[in-house]
Chains A and B, each alone.
Chain A
Amino acid sequence: MSTMAVPDVAVAAVDEGFWTRNRKVGLVLLALGLLSAVLFGALATDQQARFTLSDDAAGAALEINGTIGAILFGIITIAAGAALLAGVPKRWFLPVLGVGLVAFVLSFLCWQVSAAPTGQNFMPLVNIIRGTFILALPLIFGALAGVLCERSGVVNVAIEGQLLMGAFSGALFGSLSGNVWVGLVAAAIGGAFISLLLAVFAIRYLVDQVVIGIVLNLLAVGVTGFLYERLMQTDATKYNSSPRFGNWNIPLLEDIPVLGPALFRGNIFLYLGLLLVLVIHIGLFRTRWGLRTRSVGEHPTAADTLGVKVLRVRYRNVLLAGVVAGIGGASYTLALYSFTKNMIGGKGFIALAALIFGRWNPTGALLAALFFGFADQLATYLGAINSAIPSQFLAMLPYLATILAVAGLVGRVRAPAADGKPYVKG
């Protein structure tokens, strides 16, 4: 036997010079910190900024003098930026960045809350957290639908349509049957119906997946809009008055301060969404189904040579994605509102952004969705306290962050290698 070489894992080192990506991010963070310490500190008032641990002004609260708070948190951001600039080990990068960004947001809040009209110098944390999750919920379902689809190599631009169809069929069949569970099942089937069209055209007929996705969104808007006008508007009591899921309080967990009332007195969709994140995450990375799904999304030919049925895996995943998104759509009509025309209003596309921001990971998608939800909720809050900052400006920020993320500034964003490529044998 000749000498066997030991596996050589060395990859040619890349000489980036001093200005590594991490250092550039540190510099930006440092600038943000200076901005918050100086500008927010100057604009904040000496009022106490109160962060109440309840739904309103009452009860216990975390308090800090507005000016001091804005400057203090600004300094923390500066410190985090300086640490990145000085160079930290790779695994510390994200935590330090996270601390810096959170401190920046807190500095901003100290300014805003302290500068609010007298009597409104408080921010109800329970309210904000609950609102964040409610606003994030359709994004969570939508992004999970994206994960299921795209991890198997089918681009899912039709999330919007799947959500909308789910919302519509949930409302319609919930109303007709007078049973929320029937509505829920119908919503899942409605989402899966759009998915089926996506799967057949993308997998069987090799139509460009982005194009077919967009067309399906338009189809969903058209079909639900038509039926809404014909049925629901003419006889709303019969067709658009579905019973709704109430809130379920989870014993013990609901008694946790702040988080309990915010998260564990919610409806079935909130619990289901969080559970699905966990299940899909474990499924993708720990089970046979996940291994095969990912292999089909990365290198379908390799999977095929090992006896994995590529097309079957893709059909199954795309349909599952439709079920998940359909239920996500029902989180509107079976819990919050009656169906209205085009009620998803672009959330499906934001879910797509959350999917990418979250790097095609269920947990990443959850965090991205919560980030978007928080920004939304904050915009509402600032409107309520008559902030000097136009709420539209704040509502814009998450998408700016997405563009930066997709442009690769927050680390390499890599889609599954075969995402969007139809598989043809031979």
Chain B
Amino acid sequence: MEPGEIHALLGENGAGKSTLMNVLYGLYQPDEGEILVDGKPLKLRGPSDAIAAGIGMVHQHFMLVPVFTVAENIMLGAEQVRGGIAGFLDRRRARREVAEVSERYNLRVDPDAVIEDLPVGIQQRVEIVKALTRDVDLLILDEPTAVLTPQETEELLTVMRSLKAAGKSIVFITHKLGEVKAIADRITVIRRGKTVGTASPEASRDELAALMVGRSVRLTVEKSPATPREPMLEVAGLVVDDDRQVRAVDGVDLTVRAGEVLGVAGVQGNGQTELIEAIMGLRPVLAGTVSLAGDRIDGWTTKKVLRAGVGYVPEDRSVDGLVKEFSVAENLVLDIYDRPPFGAGLAIKPDAIAASAKERIEQFDVRTSSADAPVGTLSGGNQQKVIVARELSRPLKLFIAAQPTRGVDVGSIEFIHSRIIRERDIGTAVMVVSSELDEVIGLADRIAVMYRGRIIGIVGPDTPREEIGLLMAGISPDAAPERGAVAAPTDGTATDGGPASDARPASEDEA
């Protein structure tokens, strides 16, 4: 690392990027090898050593105490105190420090705001301010854009540029090629725990992707135009609360037709999860209706919904999608273990389960040591393939996939995407929810954007990214096409994956 450099660390999920950085931050101990800072080897016994050596880190999952104020979070671990051993907190000084750093790097935060009330973009800013108050020279940003809207991402890139101008070095961990090309001075690609190459930002996206996965991959989803038929899923006036009894879905109307993919875009936490859980019967419907092929299914149990021909890939596979301790074969029949040929009466038939597992492992290219291996020992991508294999092995009317490729390597993404499109082509209605805008744009025939529990707009897949980004931030342009319209105005800057233009005043509190 050079001073004043933005160094991107690029790699698939599970390639070892975060592990490497956690070692650098002193959270994990290296088994071998050493870390050099200013030419001197450094032994890090814990994060405090790293901080002392001028290394700061913004973690993928924010390391902020939700019930503390901004100032409390920032001073934690490096408290200014008065009163000797009593150690009274000097809050005024902490506030002043926050204000100074905010001022210097133009990162505005309110020191007295409570973290859990702040939007994620601001929380991330707090994390950066926290690192800067500790006088770091090297800042590690671990997947910082995963939870941001395109506008917030653009702001973050601006902040990174100004930090660079102030002489700070930044390690930017990501798997998003567009951002890397936009900001990095130097790129190191990691695969399976090894450095496989360095590149300059001038390298093409395809070259970088090939380095990441070790072979060339298609970045776009190949598909023919959809042939939508009759409406399959109809949602009208749906109202759902989240776990805290706060309204999460607030009057959603949606139609998914047989033979089309409806993509649901939006920043996480805008009601997508609750919408899908309500459709699946996992969450009570407070008002409105859900119909499948004309039958009202709201109020049905989840089992009944599944049996009616709905396939479901939940967004958190390790919690909701799989029983990690069960074998691959067992996980493959979780939905139909009690039906022939797998079950008869009170018994299950291990032979039939094993035979079917073998077949599907082959069909869906699940890389596992054996069908009897606990599914938790598989990589993320292969776990996801197990779920997809299970859900697509029944005749479906509707297939709902939530974050189908989160934490999945590029190779598996490609495979899962092609299976989703194949399902569409045989006439299933498909609904894909993803916080990856590229994924939604790539798969969907129509894109519904959710914001604060409502569908704020439905647009075609060739809509410019910036326009969708604005919708995701809750800004509905007057020119937004009516619902159901497929065509949208294109202004030529469309889908090349680059960050949104800086020209628009981006602000998350306009809505």
The residues of A with any CB-CB pair to B shorter than 8 Å are: 1-12, 14-15, 286-289, 291-292, 294-295, 298-299, 301-308, 417, 425-426
Contact = CB atoms under 8 A, between A and B. Distances in A.
Q: Is the interface of B mostly helix, strand, loop or mixed?
A: loop
Contacts of B107: 4
B48 A2 contact: no
A299 B63 contact: yes
Contact of A295 (B57, B68, B81, B89): B68
Interface residues on B, range: 35 or more
A298 B68 contact: yes
A261 B397 CA distance: 79
A301 B89 contact: no
B57 A305 contact: yes
Contacts of B64: 299, 302
A5 B506 CA distance: 8
A299 B68 CA distance: 10
Contact of B68 (A286, A288, A294, A307): A294
Given A3-B505, A298-B65, A298-B68, A9 B113 contact: yes
12 contacts: A5-B155, A5-B506, A5-B507, A5-B508, A6-B108, A7-B113, A9-B117, A291-B89, A294-B67, A295-B68, A306-B63, A417-B67
Nearest to B102: A4
A412 to B, nearest CB: 9
Contacts of A291: 72, 75-76, 79, 89
Contacts of A305: 25, 27, 47, 57, 59, 63
Given A302-B64, A306-B77, 14 more contacts: A5-B506, A7-B110, A7-B113, A9-B110, A14-B247, A287-B88, A288-B88, A289-B87, A294-B68, A295-B65, A298-B65, A303-B65, A306-B47, A425-B28
B42 to A, nearest CB: 16
B51 to A, nearest CB: 6
A426 B108 contact: no
A173 B64 CA distance: 47
Contacts of A288: 79, 81, 87-89
Contact of A6 (B27, B48, B59, B509): B509
Contacts of B22: 426
A216 to B, nearest CB: 29
Given A299-B66, A302-B63, A426-B28, A292 B509 contact: no
Closest 5 CB pairs of A and B: A306-B77, A307-B48, A302-B63, A288-B87, A8-B509
A304 B65 contact: no
Contacts of B72: 291
A308 B68 CA distance: 16
Contacts of A286: 88-89
A337 to B, nearest CB: 36
Contacts of A298: 65-68
A286 B75 CA distance: 13
Contacts of B508: 5, 8
Q: Which of B65, B68, B506 has the most CB of A within 10 A?
A: B65
B246 interface: yes
A357 B342 CA distance: 51
Contacts of A9: 110, 113, 117-118
A224 B473 CA distance: 64
Contacts of A306: 47-48, 51, 63, 76-78
A7 B155 contact: no
Contacts of B202: none
Interface string B375-407: 000000000000000000000000000000000
B158 interface: yes
B206 interface: no
B114 to A, nearest CB: 8
Given A8-B509, A305-B25, A307-B77, A2 B154 contact: yes
B486 interface: no
Interface string B498-511: 00001001111100
Contacts of A289: 87
A15 B75 contact: no
A301 B68 contact: no
A303 B76 contact: yes
Contacts of B89: 286-288, 291
Contacts of B370: none
A299 B127 CA distance: 15
Contact of A308 (B27, B77, B247, B506): B77
Contacts of A11: 117
A14 B119 contact: no
Contact of B118 (A1, A7, A15, A292): A7
Contacts of A3: 505-507
A416 B236 CA distance: 39
A277 B155 CA distance: 47
A50 B427 CA distance: 85
B121 interface: yes
B423 to A, nearest CB: 34
A5 B121 contact: yes
A308 B63 CA distance: 13
Nearest to B507: A5
B109 interface: yes
A7 B108 contact: yes
A294 B79 CA distance: 14
B122 A5 contact: yes
Interface in B254-280: none
Q: Which of A11, A12, A287, A305 has the most CB of B within 10 A?
A: A305
B154 A304 contact: no
Interface string B70-87: 001101111101000011
Contact of B65 (A5, A12, A302, A307): A302
B453 interface: yes
A417 B509 contact: no
Nearest to B107: A4
